[in-house]
Structure 1
Amino acid sequence: MEQHHSHNHHHEVTSLNTIFILCIVINLAFVIIEAGVGFIYNSLGLLSDAGHNLSDVFSLLLSLFAFRMSQYHGNQHFTYGYKKSTVLVSLVNAIILLIAVGAIVIESIYKFKQPETISGEAISWTAGIGILVNGVTAWLLMKNQKHDLNVRGAFLHMAMDTLVSVGVVISGIIIIYTGLTIIDTLISLVIAAIILLSTWKLLKESLFLSLDAVPENIDMQAIEQMISHAPGVESWHHLHIWAVSTTENAATVHIVIKDLSQMENIKWKLKESLHQQGIQHVTIECETLDSSCKEKSCC
């Protein structure tokens, strides 16, 4: 059984590693093309989208780095290994996106004051390629994004980028038929707003996890009720739950029991229940209730 699990884990690691590399290569190629067309045709919409896509490339690189670091085993200095790097990289990615938003807004204000002639055809065709590139990247990341904050962040960025590229195509079509080049600047501001909205949740969750907050996928109230109703448990205290990485959680708890002979059985059942709640590393400390005491405070 253990060999089968190890084989599956190795397959998942290799698969995700390949997916990250493939996503990085195709997105970097598109950034170069999009930025080149944006410079040639003076399109702020394309340049801002290229800048955002470049930040996505950096995000994918950082996510790949953190993903690989998380595979290293613990040592005497880092007993959990380097798994926490996935949380820190998620936070860095969110900050990078906020910086990109600021740059787009500043450039948009400048373009409002000094508008330039733009080719609607060039914008539409280039952004159309972006829909394909971002859509394929999001599809590649979709399978693995449910249980990993890093992958989920990358997936959401790519999904948002696909919608943004659709917006740029629409602006290009409008410019072709109306000549309203200011629409390009307006679209860039919409892009900034979309990036900000898609980044906020990632920023909040990664910041909270870096401060050892309870992960969002953990129902604290349900776990408290489960421990309270666990057979053999009289009471509990000192419950702490935190993220070891973007995919692994840990918990410690002190429980008070009557029958010391049932200690191992109670602990085993409690650990199994916590594992089902998404907590992989569990430490349980047992305390006994003095038979001469009637109050639980005598423990």
Structure 2
Amino acid sequence: MESHQHHHHHHVHNHQIDSLNNVFKISIALNVLYVAIEAGVGFYAGSLGLLSDAGHNLGDVFSLLLALLAFRLAKVHPTARYTYGYKKSTILISLVNALILVAAVCLIVAESIHKFSHPAAVDGTVVSWTAAVGIVVNGLTAWLLMRQQKGDLNVRGAFLHMAADTLVSLGVVVSGLVIQQTGCVLVDPVVSLVISVVILVSTWRLLKESVSLSLDGVPSSLSKGEVCDLLRNLPHIEDIHHVHIWAISTTEVALTAHIVLGNMEYMESVKDDVRRTLAAKGIAHCTLEMELSGCDCRCKDCE
């Protein structure tokens, strides 16, 4: 039974990865096409702003490619040296993507401050129409990623990139229309600063969790105390200690624990109960050591 459940889990997980691979391929193709259009219009209109934004969107394509690479690495089989395969690289890539988002915000803020002191004439019509295309492309990409973004940090990072770009494009459309009607070019950096704050707030959680998982912290979806309490309440378990919970990848969680029993004849049934309980909490990999009560090696790490 245990072997069947483990196989079923990985079958479903691999199906999800294959589905996400297709989403990312479509998203990359859409964004490459938009970068080409934006760069072409920028050259035609002589707009440095559009050319700069095309470069920014090219960076987003790079982030999507990184996320796609993460899914490919997650499927690499374990080796004698890397016994979990390259699953941990998915966490490192999510951290890189979070840092890219922070860097993008810093660049937007720096450019906005520069525009306050050096306002430049902007062709509101050209900028607005081009940015409107960006809303469609980035919004569609964000929509494709939205359903899956809660279950994987890399998908969440890509979703935030696309949602942020949708906001930026929306801000550009609004500022372009206002500039076209009023001629007030300072509205452009004001809108950019507001958008920067929104992006930074939404990125903070991604950055925080990526750093935490990189340091083998307990995933935010789990509570160590709650897991310990659930296991202590199972039949025949007297106590649990030396509990460690960490992420193998952005989607897989592992646990090791010492289980204290009053009677070793229940060991196999307790193992089955523990694995079922942990699987229900999203912990698919567990290593358990059974101990007979009376051992003096308990600790208070679950309290």
Answer yes or no: is 1:96 the counterpart of 2:95.
no
Instruction: Tell me what 1:293 maps to.
Output: none
Answer yes or no: is 1:76 the counterpart of 2:80.
yes
Maintained 8 Å contact 1:42/1:116: no
Deviations 1:260-295 (A, max 9, x none): 0111110110111011001010111111024xxxxx
Answer yes or no: is 1:118 the counterpart of 2:122.
yes
What amino acid maps onto 1:76 in structure 2? A
Maintained 8 Å contact 1:41/1:119: no
Question: How many residues align structurally?
Answer: 293
**1:42-57 mapped onto 2 (5 Å cutoff):** 42=47, 44=49, 46=50, 49-57=53-61
Answer yes or no: is 1:196 the counterpart of 2:171.
no
The 3 A distance-change label for structure 1 pair 271 and 11 is closer
Instruction: Tell me what 1:297 maps to.
Output: 296
Query: How much has 1:252 moved relative to structure 2?
Result: 0.5
Match of 2:132 among 116, 128, 131: 128
The 3 A distance-change label for structure 1 pair 189 and 34 is farther
Q: Distance in 2 between matches of 1:125 and 1:297?
A: 72
Instruction: Tell me what 1:108 maps to.
Output: 112
**Is the partner of 1:74 in helix, strand or coil?**
coil
What amino acid maps onto 1:123 in structure 2? V
What fraction of aligned residue pairs are identical, expressed as a percent? 54
Match of 1:282 among 267, 283, 286: 286
Instruction: Tell me what 2:162 maps to.
Output: 158
The 3 A distance-change label for structure 1 pair 233 and 216 is same
What amino acid maps onto 1:178 in structure 2? T
Q: Distance in 2 between matches of 1:35 and 1:173?
A: 21
Maintained 8 Å contact 2:216/2:246: yes
Answer yes or no: is 1:209 the counterpart of 2:213.
yes
Question: TM-score, length-normalised on structure 1?
Answer: 0.90
Query: How much has 1:215 moved relative to structure 2?
Result: 0.3
Q: Distance in 2 between matches of 1:231 and 1:144?
A: 36
Q: Distance in 1 between matches of 2:255 and 2:272?
A: 14
**Is the partner of 1:250 in helix, strand or coil?**
strand
Query: How much has 1:51 moved relative to structure 2?
Result: 4.3
Question: TM-score, length-normalised on structure 2?
Answer: 0.89
Instruction: Tell me what 1:224 maps to.
Output: 228
Query: How much has 1:18 moved relative to structure 2?
Result: 1.6
The 3 A distance-change label for structure 1 pair 286 and 49 is same
Maintained 8 Å contact 2:256/2:286: yes
Q: Which runs of 5+ in 2 are unaligned?
A: 299-303
Answer yes or no: is 1:17 the counterpart of 2:21.
yes
Match of 2:38 among 34, 37, 40: 34
Query: How much has 1:193 moved relative to structure 2?
Result: 2.3
